[in-house]
Amino acid sequence: MNSYYASVGNATTHVLGTLRRYSQLSVAWSGTTLWVSGLNIVLMNDVTVKSIPGLQCYAQLSGLLFPIGSQLPYGPVPSLPWQPICDALPVSLPAFNHHFFHLTDTVPVALVPSVQEQSATAMLVSCATLVQYVHTAPAIRLSALLWVVIDADEALLIGSPLLPLPANIFWRRGHVLLPVGVDYEFPHLSAHIENALNPKASGWVLHRPDGSWLMVPFSSLVPLSRASVRGTLSALYATTL
Cα separation values, 9 from 29, 31, 132, 163, 172, Å: 10, 10, 62, 53, 39
Flag whether 50 is in a domain: yes
**Residue 106, in any domain of the structure:** no
- Under a CB-based contact definition with an 8 Å cutoff, are residues 103 and 155 in contact? no
Q: How many domains does the chain have?
A: 2
Mean pLDDT over 141-147 rounds to 94
pLDDT of residue 142: 95
pLDDT digits (tens, 9 = 90+) for 188-225: 888 888 888 888 889 999 998 877 888 899 988 999 99
Same domain, 116 and 224: yes
pLDDT of residue 96: 47
In this structure, are residues 115 and 181 in contact, taking their beta carbons and an 8 Å threshold? no
Per-residue confidence band for 237, with pLDDT thresholds at 50, 70 and 90: low
**Listed range (1-5, 60-64, 127-131, 158-162) with the worst mean pLDDT:** 1-5
Parallel, antiparallel or unpaired: strands 111-113 and 213-217 = unpaired
The per-residue pLDDT for 210 is 78
136 and 34 within one domain: no
- Judged by phi (left if over 0) then psi (alpha if -120 to 50, else beta), residue 31 lies in left
In a shared domain, residues 82 and 117: no
Kindly state whether residues 56 and 123 are assigned to the same domain: no
Q: Examine residue 39 and state whether it is found in any structural domain, yes or no.
A: yes
Give the pLDDT confidence score for residue 129 in this predicted structure.
93
Could you tell me if residue 187 is inside a domain?
yes
Looking at per-residue confidence, does 17 or 63 come out higher? Answer: 63
Whole-number Cα distances in Å, 93 to 39, 45, 172, 198: 27, 30, 21, 14
The alpha helices in the chain, defined as continuous H runs, are 41-44, 47-50, 85-88, 127-136, 139-142, 190-197, 226-233
Report the number of secondary-structure helices (H) and strands (E) in the chain: 7, 17
The confidence band for 232, taking pLDDT boundaries of 50, 70 and 90, is confident
Task: Give yes or no for residue 97 having a pLDDT over 60.
Answer: no
Same domain, 123 and 75: no
209 to each of 106, 167, 169, 179, 184, how far by Cα in Å?
Answer: 18, 11, 9, 6, 13
160 with 48, same domain? no
The residue ranking higher by pLDDT, 42 or 97, is: 42
Residues 116 and 167 in one domain: yes
Q: What value does the mean pLDDT take over residues 134-160?
A: 90
How far apart are alpha carbons 41 and 39 in whole angstroms?
Answer: 7
- 180 or 23, which is more confident: 180
Cβ-Cβ contacts under 8 Å for 232 (sequence gap 6 or more) = 149
Residues 84 and 187 in one domain: no
Among 53, 88, 123, residue at a domain's last position: 88
**Domain limits at 159?**
111-233
Q: How far apart are CA 32 and CA 71, in angstroms?
A: 26
51 plus 145 within the same structural domain: no
Given a cut of 70, whether residue 53 has pLDDT beyond it is: yes
Q: Report pLDDT for 43.
A: 79
